[in-house]
């Protein structure tokens, strides 16, 4: 039998097939192997499935690997609003302040998309750089305002976590 590939592992992760994933991991497949699209199983996993994330992370998946666009899985999870998976990634030392190619942190993406629970969690997460500016000079607060996410803007304002207006 041929040795399992990154494609097979990524496919099982993407489908959320915990049984197939577990079986493949028992064959000593490289958990950080890239599929044909240059992404690892953790990067293509079903984002709303923290059990898949946990299984991959326990088996040595690197949560801070980036794809060609500069996205780590924590960017995808924050952008899509999956709080439980985000918490799992952080438990396994994912970098809360990892930047994508545009300089956005996971907080920027969650704020831009209006994911209140994710933003609230990240605002309270120790070490999260709330005032970080992306390459366009925008903070997560700025993106929430720009994309008309009033509930997220209110979170920042209630906590006084926004820059004073420039005069």
Could you tell me the domains of the chain?
A: 1-61 (1.25.40.20), 63-167 (1.25.40.20)
CA angle 20, 72, 128 (to 5 degrees): 125
Separation of alpha carbons 31 and 73, rounded Å: 14
Separation of alpha carbons 141 and 126, rounded Å: 18
Beta bridge pairs of residue 40: 34
Per residue in 144-163, pLDDT (tens digit) is 999 999 999 999 999 988 76
Residue 137 zone, left/alpha/beta (φ > 0; ψ -120 to 50; rest): left
pLDDT at 28 over 90: no
Query: What distances in angstroms separate CA 153 from CA 31, 52, 123, 134, 143, one per listed residue?
Result: 38, 32, 12, 17, 9
Separation of alpha carbons 54 and 48, rounded Å: 12
CA angle 125, 73, 85 (to 5 degrees): 55
Percentage of the chain beyond pLDDT 90 is: 84
Per residue in 88-109, pLDDT (tens digit) is 999 999 999 999 999 999 999 9
Q: What is the pTM of this model?
A: 0.91
Per residue in 48-78, pLDDT (tens digit) is 999 999 999 999 999 999 988 899 999 999 9
pLDDT at 166 over 50: no
Which whole number is the average pLDDT over 110-125?
Answer: 97
pLDDT of residue 1: 43
Which residues make Cβ contacts (< 8 Å) with residue 87, sequence separation at least 6? 50, 121
Q: Radius of gyration over alpha carbons of the chain, in Å?
A: 17
């Amino acid at each position: 039998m041929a040795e399992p590939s990154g494609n097979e592992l990524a496919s099982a992760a993407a489908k959320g097939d915990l049984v197939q994933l577990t079986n493949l991991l028992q064959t000593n497949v490289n958990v950080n192997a890239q599929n044909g699209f240059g992404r690892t199983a953790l990067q293509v996993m079903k984002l709303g499935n923290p059990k898949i994330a946990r299984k991959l992370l326990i088996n040595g998946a690197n949560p801070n690997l980036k794809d060609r666009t500069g996205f780590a899985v924590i960017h995808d999870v924050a952008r899509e609003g999956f709080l439980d998976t985000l918490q799992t990634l952080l438990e396994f030392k994912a970098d809360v302040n990892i930047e994508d190619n545009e300089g956005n942190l996971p907080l920027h993406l969650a704020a831009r998309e209006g994911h209140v629970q994710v933003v609230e969690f990240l605002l309270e997460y120790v070490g999260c750089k709330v005032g970080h500016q992306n390459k366009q000079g925008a903070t997560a607060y700025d993106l929430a305002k720009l994309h008309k996410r009033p509930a997220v803007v209110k979170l920042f304002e209630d906590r006084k976590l926004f820059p004073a207006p420039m005069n």
